[in-house]
Structure 1
């Protein structure tokens, strides 16, 4: 597949000392879904804001369709933002309470001059609402008149209105009730299949990640520590932090109980990052070399990268054979609860 997005050595330092993103590199192909996972504060959302150019990077490059967009002007960004859209986590605060549903979903079209008059805008709004299972009668409703799931549908179709090539979805279902989460996930999948859009999917819900993603990137303290195809990742993660994330996924039956890996302490501050491997202060297998030498993100299997001195040297996969998640492929019928991987 052709590379749609290429991120190289991306860094963002706030206030001269807070290394929120510290050398992140990855690519995203057309029609692909890359899941970005990790604890709160690891830099996932900052990466998304950098890609959207809502925040300027300190260092590194962002290429979209081969074009360097890292430092292009605000005027040039207008055409890029037609191709890269965002789905926010909170489906209420992301919608303007002073605008009707029809105005919300067609606002991007108006900004880019793609609707000519009020009649065309209204008919387009009705068509967009129907595309995500809402009624055309909802076109004049206010955001407060919708449920959380319905509001998120508005956010999704607003993002799709311009026909973008890439959508950055930052925890798009975490604020929703379990009963409606599967509906929104299915809408995202249907829209991707219909439009051919690529997703950068940010989530802490590993069950949803397993269902949605083609590849998984695990972030810890501003860096990617593991990057692998979904099948390879869930069959056997090669970084101890990734194993700890998966060990927190609840099994659906008592017979599938497994060892839970509890990480000691909290993540270090991005103001004072540990020397060597930045995970060594919480790692259950850390050795002296981990304290002095930072491991590079390197291949450990086919298309499977990990930043660990002891990748493949300890029996990870044997402890994860019973990880329970929705069936790969197809659609969600029952979505597990909020599987927070870190507490």
Structure 2
């Protein structure tokens, strides 16, 4: 299938309420032509509602949406030139794979020869061209999802909309399908908006990630910048596996103090209730009496290429990414050393990051 030229998409001050519950608050996004944008957030963050508003399946309380140079705010779904892939696949059980893929073209009364050609090209793109005569019940979950993707692709829409399409798959297949999706989108060049609660999917797939929490956009940036330069405490803890370590204490000047020790930070301020953040890979376990914090080992988990060491430092638990040959025993006294240049400080009351 030949590549297409993506179109820009805009959410302009989108508000959505269901009765007294406000689901989206002035969501504004400018999505670039051909961009793979991921809407990331926990359940109830408003990400699926935003996608459904763009698809025309929900009506915004206020605001404006555009696709290309068209204002589609009040346009019916069938005239928006978008294809949506759902978590549930939504295949017709009585139709073959070929009939499922070609159904959008049949509805549009595309000539049969052109339908067959487009179906074969779309099926080949997702590597199911050998399954065209089968029915959905004869397919695995991953194969069904590929059929749903091919059906979306066959229309060559202006925009792909994907609502957690991989969440029903097992971990191994999700990893494989992430690579397939990324390659497909890169090849086609179609603007894609993808909804997920899985930060691994967001980090691996997206050109940019929009993180939502309770209907409010928290940060919009590349995965690398979000990981290395989080806007606030919520983003810092939501992105990363294992998540960012947090230690509670006070900030006096550049000195962060807690019962377990004292750390010099790259920022200054005065906060009575402060939180120090450090990624697991920016921490290390050292002999007792060394490092900035005193701690004791809580658990040691060999992951394969590294070992996760969880330690208790006062009332806080920290996870450290250590070498795979790390040895240590539960209850052993150790120290924790932190990389000063990779520390973050947050106001515990507001979650705001101290710059």
Task: Give structure 2 stretches of 5+ with no counterpart.
Answer: 244-279, 281-302, 319-345
The residue correspondences of 1:114-133 to structure 2 (distance < 5 A) are 115-117=110-112, 120-133=114-127
How many aligned residue pairs are there? 260
Q: Which has the higher contact order (CA 8 A, sep 6+)?
A: 1
1:120 CA displacement? 4.9
The CA RMSD over aligned residues, in Å, is 2.5
d(CA) in 2 for partners of 1:168, 1:260: 39
Give the alignment of 1:69-108 within 5 angstroms: 69-72=72-75, 74=76, 77-81=77-81, 84-91=82-89, 94-108=90-104
Q: Does structure 1 residue 40 correspond to structure 2 residue 34?
A: no
Asked whether the equivalents of residues 238 and 312 of structure 1 are also in contact (C-alpha less than 8 Å), the reply is: no
Partner of 1:143 in structure 2? 136
> Which string of whole-angstrom CA distances, capped at 9 and with x for unpartnered residues, describes residues 304-335 of structure 1?
xxxx6x3344xxxxxxxxxxxxxxxxxxxxxx
Distance 1:11 1:145, change over 3 A: same
**Structure 2 residue 307 is matched with structure 1 residue 254:** yes
Higher strand residue share: 2
In the alignment, the residues of structure 2 paired with residue 87 and residue 257 of structure 1 have an alpha-carbon distance, to the nearest angstrom, of 39
Tell whether the 8 Å contact from 2:7 to 2:191 is kept in structure 1 after alignment. Answer: no
Q: Secondary structure in 2 aligned to 1:140?
A: coil
CA separation of 1:3 and 1:111: change in aligned 2, threshold 3 A = closer
**Superposed CA offset, 1:101-129 (max 9, x none):** 1111011112222x223x55445433332
Is 1:161 matched with 2:154? yes
Contact map agreement 1:217 1:227 (CA 8 A) in 2: yes
In the alignment, structure 1 residue 311 sits paired with structure 2 residue 315:
no
Contact 2:9 2:31 in 1 (8 A): yes
Q: Which residue of 2 aligns with 1:300?
A: none
C-alpha distance 164-256 of structure 1, shift in aligned 2 (>3 A): farther
Once the two structures are TM-superposed, the CA of residue 69 in structure 1 deviates from its matched residue by 0.7
Q: TM-score, normalised by structure 2?
A: 0.67
Q: Relative to structure 2, which stretch is displaced further, 37-46 or 228-237? A: 228-237
**Alpha-carbon distance between aligned partners in 1 of 2:239 and 2:79, rounded to the nearest angstrom:** 39
Instruction: Classify the secondary structure of the residue corresponding to 2:168.
Output: coil
Q: CA deviation at 1:247?
A: 5.0
Residue 163 (structure 2) aligned to one of 170, 173, 180: 170
Q: Quick one: distance in 2 between partners of 1:181 and 1:2?
A: 25
Which whole-Å CA distance do the structure 2 matches of 1:146 and 1:129 have between them?
14
C-alpha separation in 2, matches of 1:254 and 1:236: 25
Q: Name the structure with the higher helix share.
A: 1
2:61 aligned to which of 40, 43, 58 = 58
Q: 1:286 to 1:162 in 2, by over 3 A?
A: same
- CA separation of 1:150 and 1:240: change in aligned 2, threshold 3 A: same
1:206, 1:249 within 8 Å by CA — same for their partners in 2? no
CA contact (8 A) 1:4 1:65 kept: yes
Q: Which secondary structure does the structure 1 equivalent of 2:58 belong to? A: coil
Q: Gaps spanning 5+ residues in structure 1: where? A: 262-283, 291-307, 314-343
- Whether contact under 8 Å (1:244, 1:260) holds in the other structure is no
On the 8 A contact 1:165/1:196 being kept in 2, the answer is no
1:89-110, Cα deviation, whole Å (9 max, x unpaired): 123xx11212221111011112
Give secondary structure in 2 for the equivalent of 1:7: strand
* Match runs of 1:179-198 below 5 Å: 179-198=172-191
